[in-house]
Amino acid sequence: MGVCTTLYDEICQGCGRTLAEVSNWVFLNPEEKTKVWNRIRAEGTAMRFQRQAKEIKNRD
């Protein structure tokens, strides 16, 4: 998404993953990835999911 800030932040403002999650993403199994995305959606702070929510709202 091109808005990663994990260089200076513990959590990426673009995708909402922690630095550890970003670094180890390729090693996580599908269930672990789903848990991460569910947590991020529930928090609602990542730009990725804020944009999706706006797009859905605008379609309705």
Give the sign of the dihedral formed by CA 39, CA 41, CA 44, CA 48: positive
For residues 5 and 24, the model is more confident at 24
Range of the structural domain that residue 13 is part of: 1-60
Q: What is the pLDDT of residue 1?
A: 47
pLDDT 10s digits, 18-41: 989 988 999 999 999 999 999 998
* Cβ proximity of 45 and 16 under 8 Å: yes
Its pTM stands at 0.69
Q: How many domains are there within the chain?
A: 1
